[in-house]
Structure 1
Amino acid sequence: MSFNDNSQLNGGRVGSGGGGRGIAVGGGLGGAVLLLLAGLFFGQDGIDALTGGNQDDTQSTQQVDSGLADRCRTGEDANRDTECRMVATVQSLDQFWGGYFPEVTGKKYTLPQVELFRGTDSTSCGQASSATGPFYCPPDSTVYLDTGFFDQMRSQFGADADALAQEYVMAHEVGHHVQNLQGTLGRAQQDPQGATSAAVRTELQADCYAGMWAHHATEPGGAVQLEPIT
């Protein structure tokens, strides 16, 4: 879906980082791709443990254009540029969860970090690439997304990788951040196998959280607003 052209973006909201080891959640092309909401329910049958294997953590990273702050200023920019669309989506998610999470939990909402890249990147959960898919890394509370992944969605899965599908993928990963703040994310590792496992339920809940955002993102009042979903 398109963002309101008058939405005000902060390109500096999306940054970069890396290093260390941990467990990555909610990514990987080897998992199931589920359909929901305008043709795309993106999830995974289980949790990928990304320890990096024998890969060298010093592999070069092809960072996304560092000029996001200059390039991504309005909703109009988000509607024509994939990386600016991710910036707008993250800001919209900040708006929603920043208000809703404290309201229903009584706890402070801590913003996740978000890193866009192309190629490979070192993270606290090991090596990241478009082959791993977008994922949330709990140790550094960061969502990692190779924007080339959307090209793979089209070429390998024949999936709709247009605006709402891209936004929904980001919202799903931020849903894992919400679970991390709730203290429920670790249940996926305690019960990782089977169709009714906690791992699958964790993915389904993150999709539910993404749907909650999509519903409220069209409401007026925020600096970033999604156009009504048809």
Structure 2
Amino acid sequence: MKWKGRRQSDNVEDRRGMSSSGKAIAGGGIIGVVILLLNLFGGENAQMITPILEQMNQGQSAPTEQRDLTAAEIEEQEFVRTVLADNEDVWTKIFQENNLQYEKPKIILFAGSVQTACGGATSASGPFYCPGDQKVYMDLTFFEELKTKFGAQGGDFATAYVIAHEIGHHVQTLLGTSTKMRQLQQGKSKAEANKLSVALELQADFYAGLWTHYNQKMNNVLEIGDIDEALSAAHAVGDDAIQAKMQGHIVPESFTHGTSEQRKYWFMKGYKTGDINQGNTFAEIK
């Protein structure tokens, strides 16, 4: 992805220079891996793990120490700032085209653990969006795990896709989609509620593809292999791929984010059509 030398957003807060020096951070080991698998690209589902994480963190002090960011971390920060700026520009344009006003979210980069309006979280939760404070939370070490544990191709555009997916959850919050989904889940069986969660997540994938379409037209950023990187990441975090890898079989009624093929399909639909009106995943998920 061609990103250097372009506008960077001011709406990124980098807390990675704040390191915990108290007891070990909860969420490591097998428990952390399980939570990570349940919550990849957390979105609205980030709230589901809050009670677990808070229980795990009870009684754990975490005083902080400051350190300077490394050169590599500074470059990562600049990349995230650029991708967020691109999201701001694209979604401001899309909202204006629909006579709406876009409210910019923030991205919090952290290491280890973080407190949010949705409760406490650790690196094990994966990237997630908290509607309570309209912020995206990311520990960038996630992307190394995406390659080593889940077989994703990696690359900078895989990171851009994940950021765009989380910003997609912010768009859903602004448009009222997330609230409507939660209302529809009330009184439903777990399997039916899960289908609605899948629709929400696939729409965020569609929005990531839509952002890619607009960003390419506006900034000509794509390089050879970028779309493949995004599709590889989408495939790696499909519910079926994760369940097959971790438990040897799949349970479709337990899916909350969609299959690998669904996630790739909706990303590509957004990318190819460039039409926000084509993203009604709720009408197509049965």
SS at structure 1 position matched to 2:152: coil
Selected match of 1:166 from 141, 144, 159 = 159
State TM-score, norm by structure 1. Answer: 0.72
Q: Which has the bigger relative contact order, CA under 8 A and spacing at least 6? A: 1
- Please tell me the residue identity of whatever aligns with 1:53: E
Q: Residues 131 and 173 of structure 2 are in contact (CA less than 8 Å); yes or no, is this contact kept in structure 1?
A: yes
Q: Which residue pairs with 2:116 in the alignment? A: 123
Q: Which residue pairs with 2:147 in the alignment? A: 154
SS at structure 1 position matched to 2:114: strand
Q: Distance in 2 between matches of 1:94 and 1:64?
A: 30
1:85-137 deviation digits (Å, cap 9, x = unpaired): 11111000000001111322x22110011111111111111122220011110
Q: Which residue pairs with 2:24 in the alignment? A: none
- Please tell me the residue identity of whatever aligns with 1:217: N
Q: Percent identity between the aligned chains?
A: 32
Q: Distance in 2 between matches of 1:116 and 1:167?
A: 14
Q: Distance in 1 between matches of 2:65 and 2:202?
A: 32
State TM-score, norm by structure 2. Answer: 0.59
Q: Which has the higher helix share?
A: 2
Q: Which residue pairs with 1:138 in the alignment? A: 131
1:47 paired with 2:54, answer no
Q: Distance in 1 between matches of 2:66 and 2:122?
A: 12
Q: Kindly state the Cα deviation for residue 46 of structure 1 after the two structures are TM-superposed.
A: 8.5
- Please tell me the residue identity of whatever aligns with 1:227: L
Q: Residues 185 and 202 of structure 1 are in contact (CA less than 8 Å); yes or no, is this contact kept in structure 2?
A: yes
- Please tell me the residue identity of whatever aligns with 2:111: R
- Please tell me the residue identity of whatever aligns with 2:77: E
SS at structure 2 position matched to 1:15: strand
Distance 1:124 1:82, change over 3 A: same
Q: Which residue pairs with 2:12 in the alignment? A: 14
Q: Kindly state the Cα deviation for residue 65 of structure 1 after the two structures are TM-superposed.
A: 5.9
Q: How does 1:54-69 map to 2 (within 5 A)?
A: 54=55, 55-56=57-58, 59-60=62-63
Q: Which ranges of 4 or more aligned residues in structure 1 deviate by more than 4 Å?
A: 43-46, 60-68
Q: Which residue pairs with 1:88 in the alignment? A: 82
Q: Distance in 1 between matches of 2:210 and 2:64?
A: 33
Q: Residues 95 and 102 of structure 2 are in contact (CA less than 8 Å); yes or no, is this contact kept in structure 1?
A: yes
Q: Residues 112 and 122 of structure 2 are in contact (CA less than 8 Å); yes or no, is this contact kept in structure 1?
A: yes
Q: Residues 47 and 189 of structure 1 are in contact (CA less than 8 Å); yes or no, is this contact kept in structure 2?
A: no
Q: Which residue pairs with 1:211 in the alignment? A: 209
Larger Rg: 2
Counting matched residue pairs gives 195
Q: Residues 92 and 217 of structure 1 are in contact (CA less than 8 Å); yes or no, is this contact kept in structure 2?
A: yes
The answer for unaligned runs of 5 or more in structure 2 is 16-34, 226-286
Q: Kindly state the Cα deviation for residue 8 of structure 1 after the two structures are TM-superposed.
A: 3.0
Q: Kindly state the Cα deviation for residue 162 of structure 1 after the two structures are TM-superposed.
A: 1.1
SS at structure 1 position matched to 2:36: coil
1:177 paired with 2:170, answer yes
Q: Residues 15 and 113 of structure 1 are in contact (CA less than 8 Å); yes or no, is this contact kept in structure 2?
A: yes
Distance 1:46 1:100, change over 3 A: closer
Q: Residues 115 and 145 of structure 1 are in contact (CA less than 8 Å); yes or no, is this contact kept in structure 2?
A: yes
